[in-house]
Structure 1
Amino acid sequence: MPAGPQTRATIATELTRLGVRQGETVLVHASLSSFGWVCGGAVAVVQALLDALGPEGTLVAPTQTMGNSDPRHWSRPPVPEEWWPVIRDTMPAFDPRITPSIGIGAIGELVRLWPGAVRSNHPHASFAAVGPAARELMAEHRLDSHLGEHSPLAALERAGARVLLLGVGFHSCTAFHLAEYRVPAPSTEFGAAVLTEDGGREWITYRDVATDSDDFAALGESFESTGAVTRGRVGQAVCRLFEVDKAVAHAVGWLPLNRTHT
């Protein structure tokens, strides 16, 4: 027989059983479909996360907008080369207030829209946060530091935050990308439409680390073997909970020895 329905209360209880603590800061990556049937869908899940964290806790989620990028790099799907100038000239500028996230799921997008949410100002790799530490964590997000030392990811590490993978694997572990900034890594050119100081828009180019998550599943398996990961279930979702700083430290040691591509 299928499992019973998941609710705000059952999810909050199971998050607490997994080890989520009142008052802490958690970076969540989640797949709504992995929970099974949830009464209230993404709203109930976000409510449950906030319940488990309590009023002094802070919930953070990636709210990336990689569609606002140079079309010459697009492959899923690609677009004709003759379209590229039009896209660069007309792509709406990233606006943290209104630009929707892409490809990060319903739960992350709902965190962005949650009352009181604060979003970092990066045209590709923004995060959103809800809770007392939100503004401080989102304050710095330098253009040439998607997921590096001058990003909310590094701020989360300094704050002693933990990562919560809800029904997703280590391939979704953004924290590992911070390690790529700390080991030799290639850089590449990025493009994006951004707001200007006078409220207009412009297309800009800049260079940053060329991050790559293709081997994060193997990296995660190695990290989990150290015993630093708490694993359990919330609803039907297989979940993992671990500290950002421990994940980054492990990745810094693992990547130079094991990365099979650059």
Structure 2
Amino acid sequence: MTTLVGGPGTRRSIAAQLRLLGVRPGSTVLVHAGMRPLGFVCGGPQALVLALRDALGPDGTIVVPTHTPDNSDPAQWRNPPVPVDWWPLIRAEMPGFDPAVTPSRHMGVFAETVRCWPAALRSPHPHVSFAALGPTAEQVVTGHALADMLGEGSPLARLYDLDADVLLLGVDHAVNTSLHLAEYRRPAPARERLGAAVRTADGGREWVWWQDVRIDASDFGALGGDLEATGAVRSGPVGAGTGRLVRQRAAVDFAVQWMARNRTTEDA
């Protein structure tokens, strides 16, 4: 239950807080947001999008993860796993990913609001797509490689090229997707076989398979704590919660070195 303390957050008040936090007008920002920790926001996720656009100005771009983790090979499902005898049926019936209509899963209502916003663009990856709204949206989402899903062929690398920011609203670095880019930049990372259902041009569906880096976010919370200890992360109030802002390049470069020190060769 949301505690009603200190008055509601509004488009105007949150935009002011984002400016104080350091959101740069005209910048590109990858946003991870949990609405509940922000308390009561008058207008909900719509107001938060509008507040961000006010802080960024007309030249700024909002980017969000619109991943579809359930669109994957059921043999790899762990939370929860499904019986082996279900696998053929799931593979036969899973709807094909369609960037225009497939909803994101487990990404939160804010990400879904951006995805559905008029003029938002979405990358075509059937498992880890991103949506973007603003002048650099096409540059961010175009060319998202199937077999380099969070690496150099992904929107994360395009954000790095753009010197983007990462904004965590009501969440911490445990969900900081940009840290996965560092996993791809480690020497000889381990790879695994992945699969997803996709919509075909004729309206049908098919499964696609690829080899990709084995990603692991289990230590991102600890990594993020050490990143914050360097002073690279600005934090401050947003609504009733906490916002964290960091330059993506600083976070990724730190994470590459942190993983080299803290992950074993077997983790790579």
Normalised-by-shorter TM-score class: over 0.9
Cα distance between partner residues in 2 of 1:79 and 1:233: 41
8 Å contact from structure 2 (residues 28, 165) kept in 1 = yes
Q: How does 1:5-24 map to 2 (within 5 A)?
A: 5-24=8-27
Deviations along 1:199-231, whole A, 9 cap, x unmatched?
321012211001100001111111111111111
Q: Percent identity?
A: 54
8 Å contact from structure 1 (residues 215, 259) kept in 2 = no
Instruction: Using the TM superposition, give the Cα deviation of residue 89 of structure 1 relative to its aligned residue in structure 2, in angstroms.
Output: 1.1
Amino acid at match of 2:161: R
Cα distance between partner residues in 1 of 2:104 and 2:246: 25
Q: Name the counterpart of 1:176.
A: 179
- Does structure 1 residue 258 correspond to structure 2 residue 258? no
Q: Name the counterpart of 2:166.
A: 163
Instruction: Using the TM superposition, give the Cα deviation of residue 74 of structure 1 relative to its aligned residue in structure 2, in angstroms.
Output: 1.2
Instruction: Using the TM superposition, give the Cα deviation of residue 259 of structure 1 relative to its aligned residue in structure 2, in angstroms.
Output: 2.2
SS for the counterpart of 1:27 is strand
SS for the counterpart of 1:135 is helix
Instruction: Using the TM superposition, give the Cα deviation of residue 191 of structure 1 relative to its aligned residue in structure 2, in angstroms.
Output: 1.0
8 Å contact from structure 1 (residues 193, 204) kept in 2 = yes
Cα distance between partner residues in 2 of 1:144 and 1:195: 17
SS for the counterpart of 1:147 is coil
- Does structure 1 residue 187 correspond to structure 2 residue 191? yes
- Does structure 1 residue 103 correspond to structure 2 residue 106? yes
Question: Gaps (5+ residues) in structure 2?
Answer: none
8 Å contact from structure 2 (residues 9, 240) kept in 1 = no
SS for the counterpart of 1:191 is strand
8 Å contact from structure 1 (residues 3, 36) kept in 2 = no
Q: Name the counterpart of 2:207.
A: 203
TM-score, length-scaled by structure 2:
0.95
Question: Gaps (5+ residues) in structure 1?
Answer: none
Cα distance between partner residues in 2 of 1:216 and 1:159: 23
Cα distance between partner residues in 2 of 1:51 and 1:113: 19
Instruction: Using the TM superposition, give the Cα deviation of residue 123 of structure 1 relative to its aligned residue in structure 2, in angstroms.
Output: 0.4
Aligned residues: 262
Cα distance between partner residues in 2 of 1:150 and 1:237: 34
Amino acid at match of 1:115: P
Match of 2:31 among 22, 28, 51: 28
SS for the counterpart of 1:42 is helix
- Does structure 1 residue 233 correspond to structure 2 residue 237? yes
- Does structure 1 residue 143 correspond to structure 2 residue 146? yes
Q: Name the counterpart of 2:64.
A: 61
SS for the counterpart of 1:101 is coil
8 Å contact from structure 1 (residues 89, 203) kept in 2 = no
Cα distance between partner residues in 1 of 2:202 and 2:260: 44
Amino acid at match of 1:5: P
Instruction: Using the TM superposition, give the Cα deviation of residue 37 of structure 1 relative to its aligned residue in structure 2, in angstroms.
Output: 0.7
TM-score, length-scaled by structure 1:
0.97
Instruction: Using the TM superposition, give the Cα deviation of residue 242 of structure 1 relative to its aligned residue in structure 2, in angstroms.
Output: 0.7
Q: Name the counterpart of 1:87.
A: 90
Deviations along 1:2-36, whole A, 9 cap, x unmatched?
22111111111111111112111100000000111
Match of 1:42 among 45, 68, 81: 45
Cα distance between partner residues in 1 of 2:49 and 2:109: 10
Deviations along 1:100-121, whole A, 9 cap, x unmatched?
0001111011110011000000
Q: Name the counterpart of 1:116.
A: 119
Cα distance between partner residues in 2 of 1:34 and 1:54: 25
Amino acid at match of 1:39: C
8 Å contact from structure 1 (residues 8, 48) kept in 2 = yes
Amino acid at match of 1:203: W
Across the aligned residues of Structure 1 and Structure 2, the Cα RMSD in angstroms comes to 1.2
SS for the counterpart of 1:220 is helix
SS for the counterpart of 1:238 is strand
